[in-house]
Amino acid sequence: MALADIPIQAMDGGLTGNGRALLIEVADRLARFAAGGEAHVIDLSGLPLSEADRDWLRRELGEGEVHVRLAAAGESILHETAYSGVWWVEHRNEQGRRMSEFIEITRVPELLLAHPDDVILGSERLNHRIFELD
- Tell me the per-residue interface mask from 23 to 62 with a copy of itself, x by CB under 8 A, - otherwise: xx-xx--xx-xx-------------------------x--
Torsion sign over Cα 114, 85, 104, 96: negative
d(C-alpha 110, C-alpha 104), whole Å: 9
- Tell me the per-residue interface mask from 65 to 84 with a copy of itself, x by CB under 8 A, - otherwise: xxxxxxxx-------x-xxx
Q: What are phi and psi of 69, to 5 degrees?
A: -125, 130
In angstroms, give the least distance from the CB of 113 to a copy of itself: 5
- Closer residue to a copy of itself in complex, CB, 50/81: 81
With contacts defined by CB under 8 A, name the span among 5-13, 40-48, 91-99, 125-133 that binds a copy of itself: 125-133
- From the number of C-beta atoms within 10 Å of its C-beta (0-12, 13-18, 19+), residue 111 rates as middle
| Whether 42 contacts 102, CB under 8 Å | yes
What's at 47, amino acid-wise?
L
* Interface residues toward a copy of itself, by CB under 8 A: 20, 23-24, 26-27, 30-31, 33-34, 60, 65-72, 80, 82-86, 106-108, 112-116, 118-123, 125-127, 129-130, 133
